[in-house]
Amino acid sequence: MTLEVISPVAELSDALGELTREVARSVVLVRGSLGSAGSGVMWDQPGLVITNHHVVPGPLAELTVAGGRRLRGRVIRRAPALDLAALQVDAALDDRAQVADSDSLRVGDLLVAVGNPMGERNAPSLGILASAPGDVLRLSITLRPGNSGGALVNARGEVVGIPHMVTGNGLALAVSTRSVRQFLNGATSEQEHDNLRWV
């Protein structure tokens, strides 16, 4: 007879798996019209996908959502200095991210990035917040190209940032949801409003 003991580490491992699967439902694969690729997050507003400016340098992008459905997204706003772009999708998106305030994070808080590094779908990377939160989050985490534009979530699976830069040696940067909020509220100076409506 064997005694089955569920160790806390095994529970933690299971919980991370569950978190990744849940978060992945709101993470999309983004292919820009100029050959770029990365990730995007179905935001908490209908038809809105947030990604990095550098992931979608052109006006259009092809989005692959969980389950494989492909959608067309058009860039409706971008802020190169924040490395943010907003895409509008003309389709109902069932899964959306839960977004939390990045300012509530503490140094050391557990973070998981879910994206499409090197073409790998919905791969999680585990790390922590490395320094006090601001417009940009410094992360102790190993990310790779393709994580850009994806979801950086806290331990509750709520999006707190958009990973956008790998600085090497296990360090990376993410745009905080504080910055995304300002971007969406139009509080940034360099947006190109509705740039496709005129085409």
Partner 1 sequence: MSPAEVKPYTCTMTLSDTAGGLLASVSDGLATAVQRAGRSVVAVHGRRRFPASGVAWRHDQVLTASHVLERDSDLSITSADGTQHAARLVGRDPGSDVAILSVAGASLQPIERAPAGSLLAGHLVLAVGRPGTPEPIASFGAISSVGGAWRTAQGGLLEAYIRADVALLPGLSGGALVDVGGRAVGMLSAYLAGGDPVGIPIDTLDSLAQRIVSGGPLRRAYLGVSTQRVELQEVLRLRLGLQQTSGLMLLGLEPGAPAERGGLLLGDILLAIGGRVVDDGEALQMALGPQAIGTSTPIRLIRGGDLRELQVVPAPRPN
Q: How far is the CB of 169 from partner 1 (least distance, A)?
A: 6
Burial of 35 (0-12, 13-18, 19+ CB in 10 A): exposed
Interface with partner 1 includes 11 (CB under 8 A)?
yes
The helix (run of H) or strand (run of E) holding residue 48 is: strand 48-51
Q: How far is the CB of 185 from partner 1 (least distance, A)?
A: 7
CA atoms within 13 A on the CB side of 56: 30
**Is residue 83 among the annotated active site residues?**
yes
Name which of 37 and 76 has its Cβ closer to partner 1: 76
Are β-strands 110-115 and 123-129 bridged in parallel, bridged antiparallel, or unpaired?
A: antiparallel
**Is residue 164 among the annotated active site residues?**
no
Interface with partner 1 includes 197 (CB under 8 A)?
no
Interface with partner 1 includes 26 (CB under 8 A)?
yes
Determine which residue in the list 65, 76, 87, 152 makes contact with partner 1, applying CB under 8 A.
76
Beta bridge partners of 188: none
Name which of 62 and 95 has its Cβ closer to partner 1: 95
Give the span between the Cα atoms of 137 and 167, in whole angstroms: 12
Determine which residue in the list 2, 156, 198, 199 makes contact with partner 1, applying CB under 8 A.
156
Residues 6 or more apart in contact with residue 134 via CB below 8 angstroms: 176, 178
Encoded tokens for 98: 């839960």
- State the residues that interact with partner 1 by CB under 8 A: 8, 11-12, 14-16, 18-19, 22-23, 25-26, 44-46, 76-77, 86, 88, 94-98, 106-110, 127-132, 138, 140, 154-157, 169-171, 184-186, 193-194
